[in-house]
Chains A and B, each alone.
Chain A
């Protein structure tokens, strides 16, 4: 079982749609969680950190469920510019440092 798993997609949605991505992680020592965005042939960039209480940044909402070991990202009112790959990232600190990237979920938003 992969340490961080994401649905690879692609998700094809029309502009204005709401889309949700899920990510599961297997290591209960996971300490911090992030969603990164990666455009085609570009470097990953932080979209948002994910907190236990849930957090929102404009059209984006992230949730963390530690009991079930999953993270979600909700995008409301999708824009063409949201088309990208969304990477789930988990940091584990068990005496040593470990960052695990999910393989990413591809999103295509169409006019």
Chain B
């Protein structure tokens, strides 16, 4: 099992550009999550999904969109990138919510200039 994979590993965007961060898991987990981590800060939940076709907002959803058409994939879309979106983005998955371990991907380091 590859676990949770994310692409790209690094990306530099100009202000106003758009991009999609890819996330795939091969563990057949129902729950998937997107977090961002700013330097010296805890992870903040952007969006999560409880299964294919179902998504919901987390703590900091503004400026992002997600979709979940399959169990395996959970892409995160940034529209009109802003410097405030410079961060490290982690995707995670878990078999269920709340009481279960989350498995994280290696992260995408995004810089918006």
Per-residue interface assignment for chain B, residues 72 to 113, with 1 indicating a CB less than 8 Å from any chain A CB and 0 otherwise: 000000000000000000100000011101101111000000
Q: Are A99 and B104 in contact (CB under 8 A)?
A: no
Q: Size range of the interface on A?
A: 20 to 34
Q: Size range of the interface on B?
A: 20 to 34
Q: How many A-B residue pairs have CB under 8 A?
A: 50
- CB-CB under 8 A from B101, the residues of chain A are 34, 46, 49
Nearest A-chain residue to B48, judged by Cβ: A97
User: Nearest chain B CB to A46's CB is how many angstroms away?
Assistant: 4
A-B residue pairs in contact (CB < 8 Å), sample of 25: A4-B42, A8-B40, A31-B98, A32-B99, A34-B101, A42-B106, A42-B107, A43-B104, A43-B105, A44-B90, A44-B104, A45-B104, A87-B43, A91-B98, A93-B97, A93-B98, A97-B48, A97-B97, A97-B98, A98-B45, A98-B59, A99-B33, A99-B102, A102-B42, A103-B41
Q: How far is the CA of A12 from the CA of B16 in the complex (A)?
A: 43
- CB-CB under 8 A from A99, the residues of chain B are 33, 45, 102
Per-residue interface assignment for chain A, residues 75 to 93, with 1 indicating a CB less than 8 Å from any chain B CB and 0 otherwise: 0000000000001000101
- CB-CB under 8 A from B44, the residues of chain A are 101
Q: Are B33 and A87 in contact (CB under 8 A)?
A: no
Max chain A CB contacts within 10 Å: which of B40, B43, B105, B106? B43
